[in-house]
Homo-oligomer: A and B are copies of this chain.
Amino acid sequence: MSETEVHHAWLPPVAWQPIGSRRTLVVGTGPLVDTVRNEVAQACARYGGEVRTGQPGGGAPDLVLRTDPDPAADGDGYELVRAAGTTTVRSATPAGLLYGLFHVVRLGAAAFGADFPARTESPAARRRMLDHWDNVAVHPVMGQVERGYAGGSLFWRDGALREDLSRVHAYARLLAACGINAVTVNNVNVHAAEARLLTDRLADVAAIATVLRPYGIRVHLSVSFAAPMLVGGLPTADPVDEGVRRWWREAAGRVYAAIADFGGFVVKADSEGQPGPFGYGRSHADGANLLAAALEPFGGVVHWRAFVYNHHQDWRDRATDRARAAYDHFVPLDGRFHANVVLQVKYGPIDFQPREPLSPVIAAMPATSVAVELQVTQEYTGQQRHVCYLAPQWSELLRFPLAGRSVAELAGGGLVAVSNVGDDPFWTGHPLAQANLYAFGRLAWDPGADPGELLDEWISLTFGPDDPALRRTLHLMMDGSWRTYERYTAPLGVGFMVHPGDHYGPAVDGYEYSRWGTYHFADRDGVGVDRTRASGTGFTGQYPAPWSDVYESVWSCPDELLLFFHHVPYGHLLRSGSTVIQHIYDTHFAGAEQAAELVAWWRAVPVGGLVTAELHARVTERLGEQVRCAREWRDQINAYFWRKSGVPDAHGRPVDGS
């Protein structure tokens, strides 16, 4: 791969060989069917196969891709079967055909082996969405991409739309191949330049939509709640003001005139300095419904984020609990949102930590469409310098029976995640971080998928199916990497302890006396946040049974969340049988050790095939940084708690950093 070339990610040419070397019949019409036909034709051009377009001809086709319009079905599903030497994908919609094609790609040679019975695939959620926190103009602090660890933006550069959108085309293919069908093209923090995307810079958004559309992806736009003032010149943004309502209706009309399949708006309101309805004494339902009414005639949706909390908290104030905020703000509004409002709730009550309990909001608003927001970009999980395969965490969250039903079932509004890609040649900085993007798309389609199998799927696609040793090595390196990361960072669910501002690397007290509501309250006797009803902030009471009681009691609370819910002495005995302090030492030695082992595993991987010298070198460089940083975590956490507790390690290891 040359410096200017872009890595193929999970669509290397060789993945197309099984299709490209065979005869395929594509039946159907419309732009997405054209995309299917073009993809097959390109594969055939490379591997000598043949693509037909409806007319019968020499010999039976190996693969039939056929739309079978069904007025009752408008989803993205398809049926896949192999019988009598022919593999057939049948879908009600052209989009379904596209997803079926990529399923055949994933199967590879197996798609053309023994017959298999018909199986029907359809996505759990209609909308499978990525949010880009990309700024149009470079932000003086946050840069071109907020929390971006993969270079610049695919869309924007120094205040302008990129002239060359070929990377966006390649990106759209990758997204369709893992099932994603919605993309927000700008940061939820909407600054001056970004606010204008809704009005005089709408052509930029339309240009991106044109590139994404052939892969079944709709564009969404993050908008400022103050847009009527910022770009509309109105004196107010009050949601009950008729001029404001008209302005939003007209703005939406202009958007749909330019982009007929526009997806909708994403809004971060009254959150970390962004404007919102509170400024006018209105509720978040008033705010969200204002935008929903404007989009309704066109079929658009509003993703309204529930990430609302007091970000000027006084650390001395023990009564205020950031974990409670989303529930306290939004649950009383259940039933008051328009049908085309999706309440976008971060999976945990704080902020994308490696370990948090689920947000109780997800189970508490039965009359509201709720989407769960994950973070593919590794803000708090190693920033694409550490190997941290997140699908095991996401799978655990999505399967969790929060109120008799799994989180995936409760999330009727689908899954949304913050993207981790940029203009880096490997897309994601760390080449292995591509797996997170892939797995997110696949889990958004099928939340019940096994994260280990998704990992193998990604490895086989990305590095080819023919190297079992490489496949085993990568599986070993990645499958447990989230738990490894958890081991060497903040212990037992207490969270944060990261360097303020950039959120990378350890700073145990970095947020302890700050305004952000993220504390651990460690003193010489113990550590953790008392969120019980009995003696703490009462946050446990926001959970449905049995979790409200499970989390309330120090004896039933799971170890991994103990310090999220309880303040306990260092000598407290965990359910694992270890004390809290010994658990801290043990996990931190183990985690740093496991990080170090990654280097040896990777060193044994030879350069060759799809493991190019550039990719090998990039992974090696990142692993070096991970090992350094994991040791730093180990030593700072251990030294901090040793200094506080005075308890030596039971195994006599040095815990003072010496």
A residues neighboring B (CB under 8 Å): 315-316, 318, 506-509, 513, 522-525, 635-636, 639-640, 642-646, 657-658
Chain B residues with CB below 8 A from A524, complex form: 524, 643-646
Whose C-beta in chain B lies nearest to the C-beta of A642?
Answer: B523
Q: With A318-B658, A658-B316 known to touch, is A643 a contact of B522 (CB < 8 Å)?
A: yes
Neighbour of A315 across the interface among B316, B513, B657, CB < 8 A: B657
Q: Determine if A646 and B523 form an interchain contact, defined as CB atoms under 8 angstroms apart.
A: yes
Closest to A316 in B: B657
Closest to A523 in B: B643
A-B contact pairs, 19 of them (CB 8 A): A316-B635, A316-B639, A316-B658, A318-B658, A506-B513, A507-B509, A507-B513, A508-B513, A509-B509, A513-B635, A513-B636, A513-B640, A523-B642, A523-B644, A524-B524, A524-B644, A525-B646, A643-B644, A644-B644
Give every chain B residue within 8 A of A657 (Cβ-Cβ).
315-316
Q: How far is it, in angstroms, between the C-alpha of A642 and the C-alpha of B525 when the chains are bound?
A: 11
- Which residues on the B side are within 8 Å of A658 (C-beta)? 316, 318
Residues of B contacting A509 in the complex (Cβ-Cβ under 8 angstroms): 507-509, 640
In the complex, which residues of chain B have a beta carbon less than 8 angstroms from the beta carbon of A525?
646
| Complex CA distance for A316 and B315, rounded to whole angstroms | 29
Given A508-B509, A525-B646, 7 extra CB contacts under 8 A: A316-B639, A318-B658, A509-B509, A513-B640, A523-B644, A523-B646, A524-B646
The distance in angstroms between the C-alpha atoms of A651 and B645, with both chains bound, is 26
A646 to chain B, nearest CB (A): 5
The 5 closest A-B pairs by CB, nearest first: A523-B643, A316-B657, A509-B509, A524-B524, A513-B636
Residue of B nearest to A315 (CB): B657
Question: A472 → chain B, closest Cβ, in Å?
Answer: 36
Contacts A524-B524, A657-B316, A658-B316 given; indicate if A513 touches B644 (C-beta within 8 A). Answer: no
Contacting residues, chain B, for A318 (C-beta < 8 A): 658
- Complex Cα spacing A646 to B315, Å: 19
CB neighbours (8 Å) of A506 from chain B are 513
Who on chain B is nearest to A636 by CB? B513
Residues from chain B with Cβ under 8 Å of A639 in the complex: 316, 513
> What's the Cα separation between A190 and B276 when bound, in Å?
45
Cα–Cα, bound, A506→B642 (Å) = 23
